[in-house]
Amino acid sequence: MSQKCYHCDEVIPPGFHAELTIADQPQSFCCYGCFAIAETIVSGGLEKFYQHRTQSAEKPDELKQSQEAELQLYDDPALQTDFVTTEEDLSEAYLSIGSITCAACIWLLEREVNKIDGVYNFTINHTTHRASLSWQQDSCLLSTILLKIRKLGYKVHPYQEDLARKQAQTEKKTAIFRIAVAGIAAMQSMMLSVPLYLGSFSGIDPEYVALFRWVSLIMCTPVVFFSALPFFKAAWRDIQTRHLTMDLPVSLAIASAFTASAYVTLFTHSQLDSDVYFDSVAMFTFFLLLGRFFEMQARHKHLNSDADINQLLPATAIIKTAEGEISKPAHKIELGDVVIIRQGQVAPVDGFVVEGYSRFDESALTGEFLPIDKTLGSMISGGTANVENTVWVKTSATQQHSRVAAIIRMLDQAQSEKPQTVQLADIVASYFVAFVLLAATLVGGYWYFTAPEAVFTTVLSILVVTCPCALSLATPTAMTTINTFLRNKGLLITKSHTLEAMNSTSDIIFDKTGTLTEGRIQLNATHTFGDTNSDTALCIAASLESHSQHPIAQAFKPYFKRSAEQVSTRLGLGLEGLYEGSNYRLGNLEFALNNTNAPEKLQKHAGICVYLSQKDQASEYQIIAQFMLSDTLRDESLNCVQAFQQQGIKVHILSGDHLASVQETAKQLDIKQFKAAQTPEQKLSYVRDLQTKGKEVAMIGDGINDLPVLSGARLSIAMGGASDITKLNSDAVLLNSHLSVLNLAFQSAHRTRKIIKQNMTWAITYNLLMLPMAAMGWIPPYFAALGMSISSLVVVFNSLRLKK
């Protein structure tokens, strides 16, 4: 069992040691990034963060020198005009903070930033993760504040208001105000209706009858003409599109009750021979609005997630102009601007190279972790990282039109498509509504001929008491809640049938490289020679590799302490540099040995071996360490596979890799069905084979060669590192590549189905009971309103249970 990092809960790589005493207990960390953050927290006296938090933190990105310099760009007043307003000497800015996992993070950030000299106020909104900062420009630079936030392990960007978020904000504010008006009016009307009810028992003077009725009318008017407007608008839309929803009977009920009561108040004598229903109208509106509000909150949750463009593309860029180099906010870059992208920087826009040559890491788009050569005329995509030399790129698509932005927009759009379950529910609901309207008319007709004075109340009760809420309200709430829940855990569901498909899956096929394995090179073991300590060897290797962006260098990142000097790179061979006075070489065997004899005790290893050698007094290179690297199995693969097997789902591996490594992986995971060296066509025919046998197949891959198969299976899931086309065509994307989330998703699919069934059962029982009773005239309208509202709230709250 490997140890987990105290800060971010990731597995600590073997051989890595970093410990800190927190609250009198020694704790270990997985990398110097987490360690540094913990140190900062403890030295600020804020150890309570670790006690308060309810979720582990996110593993921090390494804060490179170039990123620090990038933060300083924000001090430029030209850049600040976008998101900073200054009044006298106090400046205000809105920032968007990423990587917040729980309330304790917000507590930590607020305390730390408020401590900075010159900061007047810093608060973060718990729901939107938007921070409002006010500070004095003279006492403190914006970059200092931003740096502090980054040093604590959080991402920070200027807050960019997009249309969807703005609309959501306005919608929410209006909804709250409508609820308030309806609630206050409901309370007043209920109070004023008491004397009227009591009066029908013990007698009441006509003037007072008039008074109470008039006042109730005044109270109820804003409810009908303001608070209930959404219902009327929706009902009108229903009539126009001939698609019936719950809004139609609701609007009919509200409108008719109000009109009838108003008529009684205005035109009849103040006798208590007819009733007035203002209290029912107000209460009814209030409860319905409440239910809608909760559903809206669940729907808006996904707008606040951090997986948006702002986090993938840089916010600033340096443009080369005739006057020299100027800095610009990235979303202001125009077509034809020449952007300077230095080593380690991410391209802010799409473009092509006009000067320089380098290699780019395109894993953000394609999942391919080996860098690609870019020369004059090569296309550069926004979101990819420059690995080597500075290049000058001419913009061919602005940030809004870049490939990355388009992908995210499409993903968002797919998400907002109505799920199939909901569409089915809507159809059933519309039939139900038609039935209710019909029943109301028939019953009304019957009562008109037998006891005309009861017609109105009975019809009103029927319209009000029946509630297709389980269909129109609860099922969308359930789907939205579970989608948001899974998205927060790292699984982005893009197609509607995904959850149902999970419930019916019988066989699941995994790709090997990149899915069951990490897909990147990791350090397996270190073997040292002579009296070299393995920790020291790792430090030296890491210090040399810090100058390289090659994938092999990533394996040494966790061991980095400080940089080596005079490092030179020999393409294809290795690195050479100075560390604490001695000359070292790190690379393949011939390069490290510099053509002297090899020591006999070299370890055999199936994967890549990298050797560290030291130059001794005789100017000969002696091997002091051998590092064994390979693509390792993901930690959670075994648990994930076992969980599926326990559920009764058969697990298969289909891989394009050679037999030996696929066999090894299958053995480690105890999978009996596996095939190696598969072409995409062979994979597809394997899936079709299973399907003809009646099996429901789910497929998980990183898709560079899996595209045909992913469309062939009923359910396809793409790993987070997959190419964009694959992500678009799959039914779900596993953003953080944690396989355990898959098991969670399958369990959640079961839970969702259970909850929807519960809701349906409740709805059927309730309606079967209430409708006949209302038709008989046993249910007065206020009771009908109460019953209907409680039924909708019950069903919505049951759906919200899925949040846990």
Partner 1 sequence: MEILFVLIPVSIVFVALAIWIFGWAVKSGQFDDLEGPAHSILFDDDSDMIPTRDNKPKNKPKE
For binding to partner 1 (CB under 8 A), which residues are involved? 48, 52, 103, 106-107, 124-128, 169, 172-173, 176-177, 180-181, 184, 188, 208, 211, 215, 218-219, 222
Residue 41 or 391 having the CB closest to partner 1: 41
Q: Which pair of structure tokens corresponds to residue 182?
A: 């309806």
Q: CB-based contacts of 733: which residues, under 8 Å, 6+ apart?
A: 411, 491, 492, 494, 717, 718, 719, 720, 722, 727
Round to whole Å and give the CA distance between 429 and 362. Answer: 48
C-beta closer to partner 1: residue 221 or 632: 221
Measured CA to CA in angstroms, residue 376 lies from 353, 653, 656 at distances of: 5, 41, 34
Interstrand relation of 90-98 and 130-136 (parallel, antiparallel or unpaired): antiparallel
Residues in the chain: 804
Output 175 or 493, the one with its CB closest to partner 1. Answer: 175
Least distance from partner 1 to the Cβ atom of residue 173, Å: 5
Distance of closest approach, residue 192 Cβ to partner 1, in angstroms? 8
Q: How far apart are CA 452 and CA 4, in angstroms?
A: 75
- Least distance in angstroms from the C-beta of 691 to partner 1: 46
CB 111 to partner 1: min, Å: 8
Residue whose CB is less far from partner 1, 111 or 403:
111
Q: Residue 130 class from Cβ within 10 Å (0-12 exposed, 13-18 middle, 19+ buried)?
A: middle
Closest CA to 622 of 752, 529, 533, 544: 529
Return the closest-CA partner of residue 188 out of 126, 55, 278, 299. 278
d(CA 509, CA 507): 7
Nearer to partner 1, 46 or 341 (CB): 46
Contact (Cβ atoms closer than 8 angstroms) between residue 460 and residue 781 = yes
Q: Which is nearer to partner 1, 181 or 264 (CB)?
A: 181
Q: How far is the CB of 483 from partner 1 (least distance, A)?
A: 20
Residues 318 and 330 sit within 8 Å (Cβ to Cβ): no
Between 180 and 606, name the residue whose CB sits nearer to partner 1: 180
Q: Give least dist CB 103 to partner 1, A.
A: 4
**Nearer to partner 1 among residue 484 and residue 737 (C-beta):** 484
In the complex, minimum distance from the CB of residue 232 to partner 1, in angstroms, rounded to a whole number: 21
| Cβ-based nearer residue to partner 1, 300 or 727 | 300
690 φ/ψ angles, rounded to the nearest 5 degrees? -60, -40
Nearest distance, CB of residue 107 and partner 1, angstroms: 5
Helices 247-267, 206-222: crossing angle, 10 deg rounding: 150
Q: Please, what is the minimum distance in Å from the beta carbon of residue 40 to partner 1?
A: 18
User: Quick one: which of 358, 393, 166, 182 has its CA closest to 284?
Assistant: 182
The residue (of 209 and 341) whose beta carbon lies closer to partner 1 is: 209
Name which of 610, 581, 578, 580 is nearest 593 in CA terms: 610
Q: Give the span between the Cα atoms of 365 and 727, in whole angstroms.
A: 10
- What is the smallest separation between the CB atom of 238 and partner 1, expressed in angstroms? 29
Rounded to whole angstroms, the Cα distance separating 16 from 5 reads 11
Task: Give me the least distance between CB of 191 and partner 1, in Å please.
Answer: 9
Give the pairing type, strands 582-587 and 608-615: antiparallel
Write the CA distances from 388 to 73, 342, 360, 574, integer angstroms.
22, 8, 8, 15
Residue that is written with structure tokens 């200054």 in the block = 86
**What is the smallest separation between the CB atom of 487 and partner 1, expressed in angstroms?**
18
Q: Measure the CA–CA gap between 308 and 619, rounded to whole angstroms.
A: 54
Residue among 52 and 403 whose Cβ is closer to partner 1: 52
Distance of closest approach, residue 129 Cβ to partner 1, in angstroms? 11
The helix (run of H) or strand (run of E) holding residue 80 is helix 77-80
Angle CA 313–314–319, to nearest 5 = 120
Contact 341, 387 (CB under 8 A): no
CB of 5 to partner 1, least distance (A): 24
Residues whose CB is less than 8 angstroms from the CB of residue 760 and which lie 6 or more positions away in sequence, other chains included: 470, 471
Question: Who contacts 64 (Cβ-Cβ below 8 Å, separation ≥6)?
Answer: 344
Closest CA to 109 of 175, 73, 156, 62: 156
Half-sphere exposure of 342 (CA within 13 A, CB side): 11
CB distance 317 to 330 below 8 Å = yes
Residue closer to partner 1 (CB basis): 175 or 676: 175
Q: How far is the CB of 283 from partner 1 (least distance, A)?
A: 16
Nearer to partner 1, 185 or 408 (CB): 185
Closer Cβ to partner 1, 128 or 622, answer by number: 128
CB of 297 to partner 1, least distance (A): 8
Which of 124, 593 has the CB closer to partner 1? 124
The residue among 221 and 274 lying less far from partner 1, judged by its C-beta, is 221
Distance CA 425, CA 410 (A): 25
Q: Return the number of the residue (2 or 200) whose C-beta is nearest partner 1.
A: 200
Q: Which long-range contacts (CB under 8 A, 24 or more apart) does 70-74 make?
A: 70/314, 70/316, 70/345, 71/143, 71/146, 71/147, 71/150, 72/141, 72/143, 73/143, 73/316, 73/318, 73/327, 74/142, 74/143, 74/146, 74/158, 74/316
Nearest CA among 123, 117, 222 for reference residue 179: 222
Residue closer to partner 1 by CB (options 130, 520) is 130
CB of 478 to partner 1, least distance (A): 21
Sole residue written with tokens 């909850």: 755
Q: Structure tokens of 716?
A: 């396809």
Smallest distance from partner 1 to CB 793, Å: 18
The amino acid at residue 53 is: R
